[in-house]
């Protein structure tokens, strides 16, 4: 399967969602720190790195834990539906 299979998700959901989160973090940090440019720049850089780290940790598969067979963990109860399966 090539990368084009994920293009709809990326184009219509992920990228606008990521921009929204980044905008809210940017405005929130800027509003909390007021007019203190050095502190504000440092806090925005830390917040941006935190958001990027969260996104990478969510979408980076197979590095921390091996993927589950069939996409469902063995401990998952059978009566609860799994989205996408």
**Is this structure's pTM higher than 0.75?**
no
Distances (CA, A) of 76 to 4, 53, 68: 30, 27, 11
29, 43 contact by CB (below 8 A):
yes
Q: What is the DSSP letter of 74?
A: T
The pLDDT of residue 30? 82
pLDDT in tens, 10-56: 667 777 887 888 888 888 888 888 888 888 888 888 888 887 787 77
Q: Residue 9: which of 59, 51, 57 has the closest Cα?
A: 59
- pLDDT of res. 85: 47
């Amino acid at each position: 399967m090539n990368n084009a299979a994920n293009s709809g998700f990326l184009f219509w959901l992920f990228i606008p969602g990521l921009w929204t989160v980044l905008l809210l973090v940017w405005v929130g940090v800027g509003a909390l720190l007021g007019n203190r440019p050095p502190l504000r720049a440092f806090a925005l850089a830390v917040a941006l790195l935190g958001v990027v780290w969260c996104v990478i940790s969510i979408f980076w598969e197979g590095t921390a834990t091996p993927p589950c067979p069939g996409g469902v963990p063995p401990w998952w109860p059978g009566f609860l539906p799994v989205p996408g399966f």
